[in-house]
Amino acid sequence: SLTLLTGMTFPTGLTQLSGHIPDAYGSLVKLTTLSLDTPKLSGSLPSELSSLTALATLGIATTSISGHLPDQLSSLTLLTGLLISPLVFSGTLPNAYGSLIKLTALEIQSSSVSGTLPSELSSLTALASLKAYSTSMSGTLPHELGSLTLLTGFTFNQSGLIGSIPSGLGSLIKLTTLGLQSDSLSGTIPSELSSLTGLDALDLYSTSMSGTIPNELSSLTLSLIHI
C-alpha cells in the first residue's frame, strides 16, 4: 500500500491510461497533490476523496470523468487550488465549497456545470484567482463577491450571466484582470471600477451592456480594454 504518498500526478502524455479513479485512493491520507490530466479516465469523482484531508491541490483536466461535483469535497479544508477543466461534470457548484477557506485559486471549465455562482464563495477570502469558462451557469453576480479583496484575477466568460455588474466589485482593489463575457449581462459599467487602480486588463466584450464608458475609468492605466 502506498499510504505514505504525498503527491500523485497523471500527466496528459499518459494517453493509454483508462478506467475509473479507484475509491481506494481515499486511503492515501498523506496526499497533498492529486493531478489527473489523462483523456481516457472516466466514471465519476469518488466521494472517498473527501478523506484526503491533507490535500492542498486537486486538479482534474482533459478527462472523461462525469457526474456531479461531490459536496463532500468541502471537507478538504487545506485545499489552496481547485482546478477543474475541461470536463463533463453536471449539476451545480456546491454551496458547501464556501468552506474551503484556504483556496487561493478556483478554476472551472465545464459546459455542463449549471446553476448560479454561490454567494457562499464570498467566504473564500484567501482567493486570488476565480475563473469560470464555457459553463452553463446563469443568474447574477453575487454582490457579496466584493469581499474577496485579495483577488487579482476574476474571469467569468461564455456563460449565461444576467443582470448588472455589482458596484461592490470596485472593492477588489488588487484586481489586475477583470473579464466578464455574457450575452445577457446588462446595465451600465459601474463608475466604482475606477477604484481598481492596479487593473491592467478589462474585458467586457459580448455583453448587452449599455450607456457610456464612465469618465472615471480614464484614471486607470489599462494595457487592454475590450468592450
Q: What is the DSSP string of 48-67?
A: GGGG-TT--EEEE-S---EE
**Is residue 84 pLDDT above 70, yes or no?**
yes
Q: What pLDDT score does 60 carry?
A: 84
Q: Cβ–Cβ contacts within 10 Å for residue 2, how many?
A: 11
| Residue 67, phi then psi, degrees to nearest 5 | 90, -170
Q: Which range among 58-62, 68-72, 87-91, 195-199 has the greatest average pLDDT?
A: 195-199
C-alpha span between 133 and 144 (Å, rounded): 21
C-alpha span between 90 and 156 (Å, rounded): 18
Q: What pLDDT score does 7 carry?
A: 85
* pLDDT digit string, tens, across residues 174-195: 999 999 887 688 899 999 999 9
C-alpha span between 132 and 85 (Å, rounded): 9
**Which pairing describes strands 224-226 and 160-161: parallel, antiparallel, or unpaired?**
unpaired
Q: Cell numbers at residue 151, please?
A: 483577488
More confident residue, 15 or 144: 144
* Mean pLDDT, residues 78-88: 83
The amino acid at residue 183 is D
More confident residue, 112 or 199: 199
Q: What pLDDT score does 114 carry?
A: 85
* pLDDT digit string, tens, across residues 36-65: 877 777 888 888 999 999 999 998 876 678
8-state DSSP, 68? E
Chain-wide mean pLDDT for the chain?
87
**Which pairing describes strands 153-157 and 160-161: parallel, antiparallel, or unpaired?**
unpaired
* pLDDT digit string, tens, across residues 136-176: 888 889 999 999 999 999 998 877 788 999 999 999 999 99
Q: What pLDDT score does 62 carry?
A: 64
Question: In Å, what is the CA distance from 152 to each residue of 99, 101, 171, 182, 224?
Answer: 21, 17, 12, 20, 15
- Residue in this structure with the C-alpha cell 455583453, named with its chain if needed: 207
Q: What pLDDT score does 8 carry?
A: 83
Q: Which of 36, 67, 31, 65 is nearest to 51 (CA)?
A: 31
Element housing 221 (H / E): none
Mark out the alpha helices in 63-195 (DSSP H runs): none
More confident residue, 110 or 176: 176
Q: What pLDDT score does 112 carry?
A: 79
pTM of the model: 0.87
